[in-house]
Amino acid sequence: MTPASVPSPATVLVFLDPAFDGGRVADASKPQLMATDLGATRGDGVFESLLAVGGRPRKIQAHLTRLAGSARLLELDIPAEDAWRRAVETAIGEYRRQDPPAAAGGTAEDEVVVKLLVTRGPEGASAPTCWVQASAPAAAGRRQRETGIDVILLDRGYDSEVGERAPWLLLGAKTLSYAVNMAALRYAHQHGADDVIFTSADGRVLEGPTSTVLLAHLETSDDGAGGVRTVRRLITPQLDSGILPGTSQGALFTAAKAAGWELGYGPLEPKDLLDADAVWLISSIRLLAPVNHIDGQEIGTPELRQQLTAELNALFATIE
């Protein structure tokens, strides 16, 4: 088969439409939005991205809750959760019908990226435009889970208290306005890195352009019975520092706590990352990507990064 004849991966669009109980399946090869849609002309909208494994969407309630919160911040009146759930089910089912999984049982070959999207609609529209998109995961994301990433620190240009001081910046909303985030990733690639961790003007660790920051410390002590006690501590930046609450981080924290890990929330500074035994960028699609280097400095050791990543991946696999 020549490259020109290789079929492109399926993309499925399902619009939330009151006339269609499970959503209206649209032809993804044809235009679907008006050129005047404010999502396209102004980035005026919100979205969520989640992963479906084996046909089942992961953490869907957390994503629906965050979507509703983002919509409230933008004063968008979106459909109820049950309409989104039905549209998601339709999109996943149609995607798997068009592109049947190579292997069942939750393997990497049976992963689907599902996006929930809302725009304010065309100029003068009385209701937002809402749809679900299902598509294949990017190969780079899977590779970075396994090999890790190199990261650079970039100043996001404002202090860690700006979210409370200027709520109109919508720092707690997952909006379609991702131009700055994508520019940061392009800058990283131009400078030989895979990703970015943003810092605030007052020196606090914030988040990645599309991910949440996690770090781990291992502390050993005498257990009082002649043995050694190891404490595993998982830490993430404070949510009040103007970052997006991570659904994957929240779910992993719940699983880690049940497994005996200690949990912590910043404030974190760059030196805390450099002194950690392991650092990850975590997101719903790429999942846990171990950070190998930050600004050229190795984090922990390869063996420890691999060990801790395997432990957290095992916990993350239990999350629905």
Closest CA to 280 of 320, 319, 246, 239: 246
1 falls within a domain: no
Residue owning tokens 């294949």:
136
Task: Tell whether 101 and 147 lie within a shared domain.
Answer: no
Task: Tell whether 179 and 238 lie within a shared domain.
Answer: yes
Instruction: Write down how long the chain is.
Output: 320
Task: Tell whether 122 and 18 lie within a shared domain.
Answer: yes
Burial of 123 (0-12, 13-18, 19+ CB in 10 A): exposed
Q: In terms of residue numbers, what domain contains 57?
A: 7-136
Ranges assigned E (strand) in the chain: 12-17, 20-26, 45-53, 56-57, 111-119, 129-135, 149-155, 195-199, 212-222, 228-236, 262-265, 278-283, 287-294, 297-298
Whether the link from the prior residue into 267 is cis, omega within 30° of 0, is: yes
Task: Tell whether 158 and 307 lie within a shared domain.
Answer: yes
Task: Tell whether 55 and 34 lie within a shared domain.
Answer: yes
219 falls within a domain: yes
Burial of 54 (0-12, 13-18, 19+ CB in 10 A): middle
Residue owning tokens 């006690």:
229
Last residue of a domain, one of 73, 102, 136: 136
User: pTM score > 0.85 for this model?
Assistant: yes
Task: Tell whether 162 and 302 lie within a shared domain.
Answer: yes
Task: Tell whether 129 and 168 lie within a shared domain.
Answer: no
Q: What is the CATH number of the domain that holds 245?
A: 3.20.10.10
Here the tokens at position 196 are 């970015």
Per-residue pLDDT of the chain (320 residues; tens, 9 = 90+): 333 433 446 899 999 999 999 999 999 999 999 999 999 999 999 999 999 999 999 999 999 999 999 999 999 999 999 999 999 999 999 999 998 887 444 444 689 999 999 999 998 888 999 999 999 999 888 899 999 999 999 999 999 888 888 888 888 889 999 999 999 999 999 999 999 999 999 999 999 999 999 999 998 766 666 666 788 999 999 888 889 889 999 999 999 999 999 999 989 999 999 999 999 999 999 999 999 999 999 999 999 999 999 999 999 888 87
270 falls within a domain: yes
Task: Tell whether 18 and 51 lie within a shared domain.
Answer: yes
131 falls within a domain: yes
Q: What is the CATH number of the domain that holds 63?
A: 3.30.470.10
Here the tokens at position 37 are 């849609």
